Amino acid sequence: MPDTFPSNIYTSHIPGKGRGLFTSHAIEAGELVFLLDRPLLCVPSNRHLDETCYHCFLWLPQNTPKFEDDTRRLQGCMGCKVVKYCSKSCQSRSWAGYHKFECKILGRLYPQVPPSLVRMVMQLLLRKKADALSHSEWNDFLRTVDHVDRLKKDSTKGGLSHDRWHDVQLMSQAAHRYSGTHESLILVQSMMARSLVNSMTVTDGTGSTLGTCLSTSAALLNHSCNPSCVFIFSGASLSIRSLRPIPANAELTISYTDITKPTHRRQLDLRSMYYFNCTCEYCTNNLTCGLPDVPTALEKGLSSAKILDLEAEGERLQSLAGDATPANKIKLLDQAMELFVPYKDIYPVWRHPWPSIRDEVRLLHWNLDHWSVATVHALKAYFFIDPMLYSNAWHPVRIQRVFVMFKLIRELQYQIFVSPDDGGDRVEGDLKKYNIQWLSVNKGLEEEIEAAIPKGFGTESSFAEEYRRLPKSESPEKWGMRVDWVGERAKLERAAREIAN
């Protein structure tokens, strides 16, 4: 079934932008703007095929924290051995809707699995061939932008998109051949280009990337670096929610790129991936998340060239770490973090790429069971980075990050509980001396998450479900203690300030 919008949402042409989506009546902050049950195409990434339900995108990673005690399991498709399902009902819906057309092909290719964009275009071709696609679904898809001319032009120039057009050609050949379609290769190339330009990343409740989807309706949303809306996945269903009040007849926008990057980097990303120059109010005024790009630096005598050098060197080390062994990864990322420390007052902790390097460091330490180090980095982001980048306390990304920290802190406590012989020292590390009453912390974070859910995600979202599914933390009163979130919060903030760079 093609998507249908609520009656207030309409499409209009905007000079220099093409089509865009508008609302005919005013929308409040934190409202559901529209919901798409299942976009036209949805495929888990190759890395997640083994751990994700192919139909509803329930993600069951192998390394779930121990306190979660998750008993849900995925069953593989006996036909292709490539995809998995969380239930019979997901399996039969998937089979009837799309998997029956591709199962044999995927099975023949197994253990090789084509990249997600190839699988996506192949599925579309097979559905079209089997008449399992309505005219409006196909026509809506063909109305999306493909930017083939730009891709080709940049390719002949050896410009930014050189590799992208080459990739499109290779992936199109694969989709064309595997699907056995009678459509021309030129059409398949334009389908591949449309998929590249109009796809969205499917994420779970904690913001982890699970796959790619293409919704012809959501593909009508244009970009702004100060977007009025945000898209949120609940499994494979996609909702668009408002981030602030939107007046009647205003355009609805989302962000295509990481809005925490400084203006010049966002502009580069948007030009090279989506072929436009962003002229939003943030780009025009050199603002990142509403903050000046290089605020105090120039005042304090650090040239903008120095800032750019630091940024580039941080990114270089971060990308080197991407290919390194786990031990070297930490070394390289620590080195990258060290770069900014001498300029801390000038190069704030929230400036790109420092926060994303810190996130990687936190995750690596968590995976290595260094719970206290991971917690300190999470706290640093919670107190000093996220409120700057997402000033709205219920911003879904900010809350996803609180949720991840909440899980980490629960795991830390679990470890304190199971290894009391270490006196919790090994587990609690530098945090030990702050004498934190973790049960109160749990309660405080639970309150914050619960308060943010209605506006940030909606009470029926899979984020809300995932949060409710976690075993509730114990009440401090049960152990004769008083809940003192304010006091504990102050201790945590002090620890985050004193311990982490």
407 vs 401: CA distance, rounded Å = 10
Give the C-alpha distances (Å, rounded to integers) separating 467 from 309, 409, 463, 472: 41, 14, 6, 9
- What secondary structure does DSSP assign to 344-379, as a single string? TTTS-TTSTTHHHHHHHHHHHHHHTT-HHHHHHHHH
Give the closest residue to 46 by CA, choosing from 111, 103, 123, 131: 111
Minimum CB distance to ligand SAM smaller for 198 or for 375 = 198
Rounded Cα distance, 311 and 303, in Å: 13
Residue sitting closest to ligand SAM (CB):
18
- Burial of 85 (C-beta count, 10 Å sphere; 0-12/13-18/19+): buried
Q: How far is the CB of 190 from ligand SAM (least distance, A)?
A: 14
Grouping H, G, I as helix, E, B as strand and the rest as coil, residue 97 is: helix
Report CA Rg, the chain.
24
Looking up tokens 């049950």 gives 37
Q: Decide whether 281 or 460 has the Cβ nearer to ligand SAM.
A: 281
The separation between the first and the last C-alpha atoms of the chain, rounded to the nearest angstrom, is 52
CA dist 340 and 343 (Å) reads: 5
> Nearer Cβ to ligand SAM, position 23 or 400?
23
DSSP letter at 82 equals S
* Residues in contact with ligand SAM by the rule CB under 6 A: 16-20, 144-145, 197-198, 219-220, 222-224, 274-276, 278
Chain-centroid distance of CA 465 in Å reads 18
Q: How many contiguous H segments (helices) and E segments (strands) does the chain have? A: 20, 14
Q: How many CA atoms lie within 13 A of 335 on its CB side?
A: 14
Strands 75-76 and 84-85 turn out to be: antiparallel
3-state secondary structure 144-203: CCCCHHHHHHHHHHCCCCHHHHHHHHHHHHHHHHHHCCCCCHHHHHHHHHHHHHHCEEEE
Indicate if the alpha-carbon torsion angle 21, 22, 28, 29 is positive or negative: positive
For the bound state, the minimum distance from the C-beta of residue 256 to ligand SAM, rounded and expressed in Å, comes to 7
CB of 220 to ligand SAM, least distance (A): 5
Q: Are 248 and 26 in contact (CB under 8 A)?
A: yes
Distance of CA 180 to the CA centre of its chain: 34
Annotate 1-64 with three-state secondary structure. CCCCCCCCEEEEEECCCEEEEEECCCECCCCEEEEECCCCEEEECHHHCCCEECCCCCECCCCC
Q: C-beta of 401: minimal distance to ligand SAM in Å?
A: 26
CB 280 within 8 Å of CB 224 = yes
CB of 91 to ligand SAM, least distance (A): 32
Beta bridge partners of 43: 212
State in angstroms the smallest separation of the CB of 272 from ligand SAM.
11
